[in-house]
Structure 1
């Protein structure tokens, strides 16, 4: 799996080169640079056969004021997915947020834009798995995550 910075123009052909049956990759891009991430957690369609890869997170410089473009392949966009992200605001406070959950087949990319004085720290694409369940102990709705891809911002 490719886990280094590549020019944005080269990312699409690299994604197309992935063999069938291989876990899908997600592309994170900022400015003219991009990073292609393999999943840190990946579960097959049965939601039982899962693998974890601690070496899968990628790094990419994302200067303040620069949008992060996240592009997912059809294997992800055909399911519900979202981006969970952390940034430091202008006052230095850490803020944890998430995008809306994108409906199946609704979109294959998203431009994450933060306030001008904010600095992105991490971004994680989360692909939802089986339907939500009720946690009997807490009574809360639990949304199982099937797979995730992680970006840590360099610098």
Structure 2
């Protein structure tokens, strides 16, 4: 049943750099990851999408979030703090995708319960991880107990 469920997993990429957004899209196509991909330019934009003010194509659960750290208005850590306080999204699976290799950033991310921390230069490793995670994992189905 996992194969029928994996395509329902939507991915939210929170990234302000257009080149990095395109790199992720290209890597997904190459890896045949066809899950719906939403993009938010910063944490505030991501919260708007998640909370239903994002227009006709809302983001639904279950969901994976790929999150940059350094963004305008609301950075990745501020977004994670808001996300973890929101009852609906506090258990969302978040992978950091960043240029920061600093231990302080890595520690701060894991203290906020991220599933993984990937440097943008290792995008292929993230894609490989996501491919196995999305295809092999049993996700809860919305509205099913």
TM-score by length of 1: 0.26
TM, length-normalised to structure 2: 0.28
- Larger strand fraction of residues: 1
The structure with more radius of gyration: 1
Higher helix fraction (1 or 2): 2
